Amino acid sequence: MRPERLNPLFASADTLKGVGPKLEKPLNRLGLRRVKDFVYHLPDRFVERRQVADLDEAQVGEHIIIHLTVTDHRGSSTGRGPFRVQARDAAGNMVALTYFGRASYSARKLLPTGEARWVAGKLEQYGDMLQIVHPDHVSPDGAAVMGAACEPVYPLAEGLTQNRLATMVEQALGLVPNLPEWVDAGLKEKRGWPDWRDALVLAHRGGHREARDRLAYDELFASALALMLVKADNRRRRGPSLQGDGHLRDRLKLPFSLTGAQLRSIREIEGDMAQEYPMLRLLQGDVGSGKTVVALTAMLIAVEAGAQAAMLAPTEILARQHYETLTEMARGTGVEIAILTGRDKGRARQATLMGLMDGTIDIIVGTHAIFQDAVNYRNLALVVIDEQHRFGVGQRLLLTQKAKGTAHCLAMTATPIPRTLTLAQYGEMEVSKLDELPPGRKPIDTRVVAVERMDDVVAGLRRHVEGGGQAYWVCPMVHENERADLAAAEERFDALRDVLGDRVTLVHGQLPGDVKDANMQRFASGEMQVLVATTVIEVGVNVPNASLMIIEQAERFGLAQLHQLRGRVGRGAAESVCLLLRGRALSETARDRLALMRETQDGFRLAEEDLRLRGGGELLGTRQSGEHAFAVATPEQIGDLLEPAHDDARLLIERDGGLTGARGDAARTLLYLFERDYGVQLLRGG
């Protein structure tokens, strides 16, 4: 149970003054649902303002605080132009305080003629005139404006302002309790880190590198400690020793030879499954590297040993794709494979449930429905989890408990992950890496095309379709706003239908499941030739005839996600092309990212570069529905602090008594604070 001292932090956001139903949506978009979320919603940057006695001391472009006397109000003759408040500093220099739109009405009251005011804002030059456009702060109280000398700038969502969010954060900070210290005293002194509560406050007041580092360390330490507790607990558990005799694997008639990386990974998995404690292994595979056949081999080992295996996919679309692929691969082996999703009802569902219970079904594929209370297994001994990043560690622990003992677990991810983040996110697992592509896979011709050539791109798509080809068109992210993404996709869908007729179909996250699946199936079967999709939907359907991928506003995507999308083509005999449609204005980082996409198809290299170019928070593209990695720690902090965090966690477990004693109790509080309390639950036996 969560310690009572943390209750103020886990109180609902609506306990803060000024938080009502109107703010629920914008706050939810930022993940601000509890008091804790506000105190860890750290500023992106700070506006540093310097107090000057007069304008002669200031530089154009500088943020300043200055005492001014209002001399005149000047509105435009048409009422449409800017409203300017003329003001004089102590030396007699003139400056215009410029307002546009409705703000001009309040400016008259805020800055009455003849009155003195303290003003904070950015000094600019317009022709021969100095001006401050929409001053940030205006007040007769100098102390109030001086308090904004260093002002945080927070990530925002539509419907929120900086001042409003800052007020909420300030309230939340006032509710932060004092907590016992969990950081090793020697490390804390060596790094010059403040206490936890002080660090939180300082991180909202200015740069304070030591405060930020301390908060990042807390997060990394909590993660490392929880994963070590999971790993240690796993080694204490008894798991089924599964040693197959190979008779099912020998019956596999694969139309291809396995790569060296696949054979190596299979040996590692086979060795793990033969142990007397449960396997915990992550299979990392680049796009098209052949993870499915490795997973099938692992499941056949379990069946050879007289047990059952289950494969969990995050979406029904992927579950059905896996079911069809596994059924085709295993044809002739005599293995019974079934599928179970939330949509399966009636007699078919009951037959599947009975088959799992009496053992006539060897392998089950499905969504989370395969682990509901009503689903029972005769002898489940292996769980394969596809797209591991969609499921948190706590969820995975619940899944493996469906076994009579504890099942072996093979997690898979199609997203190559940088080495440091692999350790940080999957530290409890051994790792197998598929870093070779099967022979015969042709490189994908990747081109960057300016959006100004949209008509040429659509004309090329038309020729491609008329030649019998199929294509994906992925619509851009719009500030990670699902509703805006949907509008963009529907607009593109309508435009392409005007050109191509009824050969185009649309898939997005708000479609009912049966409609979504039907549209996907129509594309997979070749009935539809163009699939328009938003970024919130999996497009991982294996369609060998699809040889053209068009990604609109590609500069908005991370390298890892661009690489994933590109991997949807290049699966058949035809030469494949990926067009990256770029916008008009590109940052230097965006240019580097698109250039790398042209240069290489090595997903592991792209993952490392993605981390370097834009950080780990968006490694997987738009945030997915599982536990995302870190809310506080930046990639730079991960590189600097991950190793000491792991060392400290290991010392706490191996030398300092784990979660017993004063520091152990503090570490237990930390695990609850960062919601890594599955580590605590293991110590209690469930």
- Mean pLDDT (whole number) for 596-605: 88
Position 672 pLDDT exceeds 90:
yes
- Mean pLDDT (whole number) for 356-371: 92
Cα–Cα distances in angstroms (integers) from residue 253 to residues 332, 571, 665, in the given order = 8, 20, 56
- Mean pLDDT (whole number) for 20-47: 93
As a whole number, the mean pLDDT across the chain is 86
pLDDT for the residue 616:
41
- φ, ψ of residue 15 to 5 degrees: the values are -80, -15
pLDDT for the residue 628:
43
**Segment of 72-76, 150-154, 394-398, 510-514 carrying the highest mean pLDDT:** 150-154
Q: Which residues make Cβ contacts (< 8 Å) with residue 314, sequence separation at least 6?
A: 367, 386, 387, 390, 391, 538, 625, 626
Q: Which of 61-65, 384-388, 521-525, 580-584 has the lowest mean pLDDT?
A: 384-388
What are the pLDDT digits (tens) for 496-532? 999 999 999 998 877 787 788 788 889 988 999 999 9
Q: Are 503 and 465 in contact (CB under 8 A)?
A: yes
Q: What percent of the chain has pLDDT over 90?
A: 51
The residue ranking higher by pLDDT, 183 or 442, is: 183
- Domain parsing of the chain, residue ranges: 1-43+156-172, 47-153, 249-434, 445-600
The residue ranking higher by pLDDT, 508 or 175, is: 175
Q: Which of 25-29, 35-39, 74-78 has the lowest mean pLDDT?
A: 74-78
What are the pLDDT digits (tens) for 421-449? 666 666 667 889 898 877 767 789 999 99
For residue 538, name the pLDDT band (cuts at 50, 70, 90).
low
Please state whether the predicted TM-score (pTM) of the whole model is above 0.85.
Answer: no
pLDDT for the residue 36:
96
Instruction: Output the CA torsion sign for 110, 111, 115, 116.
Output: positive
CA atoms within 13 Å, Cβ hemisphere of 438? 19
For residue 623, name the pLDDT band (cuts at 50, 70, 90).
very low
Q: Are 270 and 245 in contact (CB under 8 A)?
A: no
Position 368 pLDDT exceeds 70:
yes
Q: Which of 93-107, 237-251, 427-441 has the lowest mean pLDDT?
A: 427-441
Position 642 pLDDT exceeds 70:
yes
Burial of 280-300, coded b for 16+ CB within 10 Å and e otherwise, reads bbbbbbbbbbbbbbbbbbbbb
Instruction: Output the CA torsion sign for 222, 223, 229, 232.
Output: negative
Position 102 pLDDT exceeds 90:
no
pLDDT for the residue 389:
56
For residue 10, name the pLDDT band (cuts at 50, 70, 90).
very high
Which of these CATH numbers, 3.30.470.10, 3.40.50.300, 1.10.3720.10, 3.40.50.1860, describes 445-600? 3.40.50.300
pLDDT for the residue 169:
96
For residue 627, name the pLDDT band (cuts at 50, 70, 90).
very low
Which ranges of 426-548 would DSSP assign to H, the alpha helix? 454-466, 482-500, 513-524
Q: Which of 255-264, 351-360, 631-640 has the lowest mean pLDDT?
A: 631-640
What are the pLDDT digits (tens) for 103-127? 788 888 899 999 999 999 999 999 9
Rounded to 10 degrees, the C-alpha dihedral 425/430/436/440 comes to -100
pLDDT for the residue 263:
96
For residue 622, name the pLDDT band (cuts at 50, 70, 90).
very low
User: Distance between CA atoms of 529 and 505, rounded to whole angstroms?
Assistant: 8
pLDDT for the residue 179:
96
**Pairing, β 45-48 against β 150-153:** antiparallel
**Segment of 300-304, 550-554, 562-566 carrying the highest mean pLDDT:** 300-304
Position 270 pLDDT exceeds 80:
yes
H/E stretch holding 125 reads: strand 116-126
Structural class in CATH, domain 47-153: mainly beta
CB atoms inside a 10 Å sphere around CB 419: 12
The residue ranking higher by pLDDT, 145 or 681, is: 145
Matching residue, tokens 């060392």 = 647
* Token representation of residue 417: 């992950």
Position 614 pLDDT exceeds 60:
no
Say if domain 249-434 classifies as CATH 3.40.50.300: yes
* Token representation of residue 571: 């699966």
Same topology, domains 249-434 and 445-600? Answer is yes
For residue 479, name the pLDDT band (cuts at 50, 70, 90).
very low
- Mean pLDDT (whole number) for 393-414: 73
**Segment of 44-58, 142-156, 439-453, 499-513 carrying the highest mean pLDDT:** 44-58
pLDDT for the residue 19:
93
